[in-house]
Amino acid sequence: MVVLTCEYQPGLEGIPAAQSSISYVDGKQGILEYRGIRVEELAQKSTFLETTYLLIWGKLPTREQLKEFETDILYHRRIKYRIRDMMKCFPETGHPMDALQTSAAALGLFYARRALDDPAYIRKAVVRLIAKIPTMVAAFQLMRKGNDAVQPNDNLDYAANFLYMLTEIEPDPLAARIFDVCLILHAEHTINASTFSARVTASTLTDPYAVVASAVGTLAGPLHGGANEEVLRMLEEIGSIRNVRPYVEKCIQNKEKIMGFGHRVYKVKDPRATILQNLAEQLFEKTGYDEYYDIAKELERVVEEKLGHKGIYANVDFYSGLVYRKLGIPMDLFTPVFAIARVAGWLAHWKEQLAVNKIFRPTQVYKGIHHAAYIPMEER
Ligand code: SDX
């Protein structure tokens, strides 16, 4: 007989589901730290691969460790031709998050060995997933347009190579740096829904490819990682600054959620939204203004006026889409880009879960009936 140790909380709100030292969020102060380092400092001074190393192995790499990690990633960017051939059978109308979830799980067919207690196996799985996820996202983009995927460009760093594989054009260095910072900002965020999925899946001791596939499926939802794509659609629907206030009032009236706002933990503006807003302004300065930015700023002002008292402010998904749009990333790839970054956090939690594993099996509050009779078909 299980003794209930705490009240049922919808969505496990406020209930610790793990002990972790990977990242920390202070929702009242608007603070986010990766392994104790403020995300603002990492955005300014680090790279996505260095941040990935920090998240997964718990400390900043030495120059040699980082060089070795970057080289390993570069050597593993390519994907098996069978996976590319499989992706050619995907319908071009399919959502890129479904394509990513399918191809991430397919990696497990090629790397099926599970040696979860072997640090070398852990490192190899990390390298393969961090290296191959961007290649698979870019491959589906080109294939759904009827073209062949392009091979990774070994002369380009991680961020620049993804933009190249996606557009077949070597990106401007500023665009590549801004994209790399976006990856840092999206890499990790404590026990969010997709990371919780990753930990639950990891706790059954399945392979890391199934862990990532499970997390990708969770991130896809519009209440989670899917919000960035919905924000751009919302800005398009609003269409002009004068429509902002009526739009917000309609949503509040109909109790509809406004995409890109609100957060289970942050009750102030998400610190990542502030950095992304600055990145957007840098990009606009260099590559020309985006009229949706004015609508977004007015929308943020009106939502703060109307909902700020409820702790509802812009979150990470609000400005990211404006940056990605300026980088030439199609709208329905915004969430796969979120996934490319969050693989780092999911793998850090996978490794941490394995170290102290106990399979997740919560209890429930039963609301059903007992002693029901089996009614024969003719009497139903
Ligand atoms: C991410 O968890 C993470 O860390 C996630 C993430 C990460 O890095 O992994 O930060 C990434 O997922 C960011 C969130 C992206 N999602 C969206 O932008 C979708 C819109 N936001 C909401 O769906 C909502 O704010 C959530 C899902 C983010 C949080 O929901 P909660 O904590 O369950 O809050 P709730 O739905 O219970 O709302 C509490 C109140 C309600 O009002 P009342 O019924 O109490 O009067 O706040 C209102 C809600 O109606 N509310 C909103 C709102 N979000 C909450 N009202 C209007 N618009 C919104 N966006």
pLDDT band per the 50, 70, 90 thresholds, residue 175: very high
CA–CA distance, 286 with 300 (Å, rounded to integer):
24
The answer to whether 202 and 349 have CB atoms below 8 angstroms apart is yes
CA–centroid distance, residue 261 to ligand 1 (Å): 7
Q: What is the CATH number of the domain that holds 261?
A: 1.10.230.10
The answer to whether 172 and 182 have CB atoms below 8 angstroms apart is no
Q: Which residue is associated with the tokens 């972790």? A: 20
Residue 2 predicted with pLDDT over 80: no
C-alpha distances out from residue 32 to 41, 147, 265, 342, 349, Å:
11, 40, 11, 15, 16
Once rounded to an integer, what is the mean pLDDT over residues 97-104?
Answer: 98
CA–CA distance, 303 with 240 (Å, rounded to integer):
16
Positive or negative: CA dihedral 82, 85, 87, 89: negative
The answer to whether 73 and 158 have CB atoms below 8 angstroms apart is yes
Residues 213-232: tens digit of each pLDDT: 999 999 999 999 999 999 99
CA–centroid distance, residue 49 to ligand 1 (Å): 30
Among candidate residues 263, 294, 332, 370, the one labeled active-site is: 263
Q: What is the pLDDT of residue 112?
A: 75
CA–centroid distance, residue 117 to ligand 1 (Å): 38
Nearest to 133 by CA among 327, 338, 325: 338
Residue 242 placed within a domain: yes
Number of domains forming the structure of the chain: 1
Q: How high is the mean pLDDT of the chain?
A: 96
CA–CA distance, 103 with 332 (Å, rounded to integer):
17
Write out the two tokens for 226.
Answer: 């899917």
Determine the 3-state secondary structure of 380 from DSSP: coil
CA–centroid distance, residue 105 to ligand 1 (Å): 29
Tell me which residue range forms the domain holding 294.
Answer: 227-326
Residue 14's beta-bridge partner residues? none
Residue 296 placed within a domain: yes
Q: Which amino acid is at 257?
A: K
Residue 1 predicted with pLDDT over 90: no
pTM: 0.96
φ, ψ for residue 255, nearest 5 deg: 50, 40
Count H helices and E strands in the chain, helices first.
16, 3
Residue 82 placed within a domain: no
Once rounded to an integer, what is the mean pLDDT over residues 284-292?
Answer: 91
The answer to whether 133 and 104 have CB atoms below 8 angstroms apart is yes
C-alpha distances out from residue 368 to 8, 34, 94, 364, 376, Å:
16, 43, 38, 11, 21
Residues 178-187: tens digit of each pLDDT: 999 999 999 9
Q: Which residue is associated with the tokens 């693989």? A: 343
Residue 9 placed within a domain: no
pLDDT band per the 50, 70, 90 thresholds, residue 4: low
Once rounded to an integer, what is the mean pLDDT over residues 34-47?
Answer: 98
Residue 65 placed within a domain: no
The answer to whether 215 and 194 have CB atoms below 8 angstroms apart is yes
Q: Could you tell which of 247, 254, 264 is best to mutate to test the pocket of ligand 1, judged by most ligand atoms within 8 Å of the CB?
A: 264
CA–CA distance, 261 with 29 (Å, rounded to integer):
17
DSSP-derived letter for residue 127 is H
Ligand 1 environment, Cβ below 6 A: 11, 189, 192, 223-225, 227, 255, 257-264, 307, 310, 312, 315-317
Q: What is the pLDDT of residue 6?
A: 77
Is there a catalytic annotation at residue 189?
no
Q: What is the pLDDT of residue 5?
A: 59
Residue 21 placed within a domain: no
CA–CA distance, 108 with 211 (Å, rounded to integer):
10
Residue 238 placed within a domain: yes
Is there a catalytic annotation at residue 263?
yes
Q: Which residue is associated with the tokens 């080109």? A: 142
Residue 343 placed within a domain: no
Residues 125-173: tens digit of each pLDDT: 999 999 999 999 999 999 999 999 999 999 999 999 999 999 999 999 9
Residue closest via CA to ligand 1's atom 15 equals: 224
Q: What is the pLDDT of residue 114?
A: 86
Strand ranges inside the chain, DSSP E: 23-26, 31-34, 37-38
Q: Which amino acid is at 291?
A: E
